[in-house]
Structure 1
């Protein structure tokens, strides 16, 4: 059997200006080896775990290169100013990747470790890598909340439904939410999925039919705009009213390529960073957000690290708003 790889975090990835006190993220991050996940009473913990793999993207006929995404995001995060409270710890647990085509064992390890992070009171932030990581991410959240008898929802900022059927029985970057639907169905759990930013040219009619059959909520790109924030907020209110907790998934290809050129499936259309941040702020204030992933960064096609910086800013903004609303 092909081996799943875990790579310890590289402290040299975290760089930035020198300061006598903690002023920047690179100073606040603590790198932990060997995926040794532990709890610490009274300490709030943000866990960074990378998924340095793009086999799922290859299977879905996308542009490979997303396996370099987690390192690129970390490099941009390191120099950001740090504004979180002193009792919040930032813990980097390194990257999970695969050898050759061994995608499913990597998903299993990612699921197990994300579950452990939740159980040990971390807020997981998963850095991709292909969007197939959302299957492992969502499976972990589903298992964790099922044990607590709490309902579960997914909010996905994306141009695509990612509800595609398996290919030759195997998952890929276009199938994670259909896989989660089937997993929930097998466990007699309700499936609540809301996708914001759907672009019709990127989703054939079959996927709209699957979305209807799975009870998926969505907003088209034409409606997912700043000028329509009132309706967006109403829809979010209605969705959040159905669940106890939600996981957030941000596919960077949902942004216009003017903001995010370095992705697996770029588009000149898409939503703006300003709108995405309004959604992040709303979710932080809801007190229902349990975890987050940012996926599909492809540094090979990035320009002046614009996409990596955008991903880093999304992570920083959500973390800051999450703990400023307590």
Structure 2
């Protein structure tokens, strides 16, 4: 397997500063050497160039809409080139809005499924969002709902069909967002489901739902899906998340199923972290998703 690493150091979609430093923190935690130790061929392409602007100056209803679109358009272009070369893109965020670009690029090449690990649904539209922060809208955007300019980003609408989309680990939904998800064809496994069924059964069902219907699966992993005790360096922590071993088992099962076509890890915030703990965990999780085993 040949892996192409790409950083997207943006916080335009988020509600607090710091996640733009996520790619640097993950690299500092020895991402490339860790993957090379698995006998993977790794090419670090560096970071997409992101403009520096004054966050306080933004007046758009969907905050930093034009900047998010520009970043996602460029990301989609690069990811599609990687996918056409039969390489596996690993994208480092940055806030979760970047996944619009990640998935758009993959969708230009093949029909994709999507597993979305997150404490939040990210299924708001501009009509339902209380903040206007686009990192609360990317999943809705990817399946074709919301701001027209975002929905059409990358030239593919929808980028993934709702029936080929699974959320894992959600536990914090806005009222109207909850209703949108109930009315959709998206499969949602809440933390309550994981408590009752166990992560093995949940992931078995998730893989079965989308693994046979698509040409590949994009894994989007927001570190806040983990319990804050495991991953303190995230911008929007929510108590009661996945444990260390639950997260690893979920990604190990995905690797065993051989369905991963692309991967992103997002929302690592070094300003809020403790000794780069969350970035180091991100590296371990990427390794599990790409096939690392204990024995």
Pick the TM interval, shorter chain.
0.7 to 0.9
The structure-2 alpha-carbon separation of the partners of 1:226 and 1:77, relative to structure 1 and needing over 3 Å to count, comes to farther
Paired residues in the alignment total 267
CA RMSD of aligned residues (A): 2.6
- Unaligned residue ranges in structure 1 (runs of 5+): 1-43, 146-150
Tell me which residue corresponds to 1:5.
none
Secondary structure of 1:132's counterpart equals: helix
Structure 1 residue 164 corresponds to structure 2 residue 124 = yes
Distance 2:127 2:76 in 1: 21
The ranges of structure 1 where at least 4 consecutive aligned residues each deviate by more than 6 angstroms after the TM superposition are 167-171
The structure-2 alpha-carbon separation of the partners of 1:226 and 1:70, relative to structure 1 and needing over 3 Å to count, comes to farther
1:226–1:275 CA contact under 8 A, matched in 2? no
1:155–1:194 CA contact under 8 A, matched in 2? yes
- CA offset at residue 283 of structure 1? 1.1
Tell me which residue corresponds to 1:93.
45
Secondary structure of 1:126's counterpart equals: strand
Secondary structure of 2:123's counterpart equals: coil
Moved more, 176-185 or 119-128: 176-185
Distance 1:283 1:69 in 2: 24
- Unaligned residue ranges in structure 2 (runs of 5+): 54-63, 145-150
Structure showing greater Rg: 1
The structure-2 alpha-carbon separation of the partners of 1:129 and 1:226, relative to structure 1 and needing over 3 Å to count, comes to farther
Equivalent of 1:319, from 258, 275, 290? Answer: 290
- What does the per-residue CA deviation read over 1:273-306, in whole Å, with 9 as the maximum and x for residues that have no partner? 2111111111112122100000000000001111
- CA offset at residue 233 of structure 1? 3.7
1:63–1:265 CA contact under 8 A, matched in 2? no
Distance 1:167 1:215 in 2: 20
- CA offset at residue 70 of structure 1? 0.2
The structure-2 alpha-carbon separation of the partners of 1:121 and 1:244, relative to structure 1 and needing over 3 Å to count, comes to closer
- CA offset at residue 189 of structure 1? 6.8
Secondary structure of 2:143's counterpart equals: helix
Secondary structure of 1:94's counterpart equals: strand
State the TM-score, normalizing by the size of structure 2. 0.83
Equivalent of 2:182, from 188, 200, 212? Answer: 212
- CA offset at residue 308 of structure 1? 0.9
1:225–1:271 CA contact under 8 A, matched in 2? no
Distance 2:91 2:196 in 1: 27
Tell me which residue corresponds to 1:235.
205
1:132–1:171 CA contact under 8 A, matched in 2? no
Secondary structure of 1:63's counterpart equals: coil
Secondary structure of 1:90's counterpart equals: strand
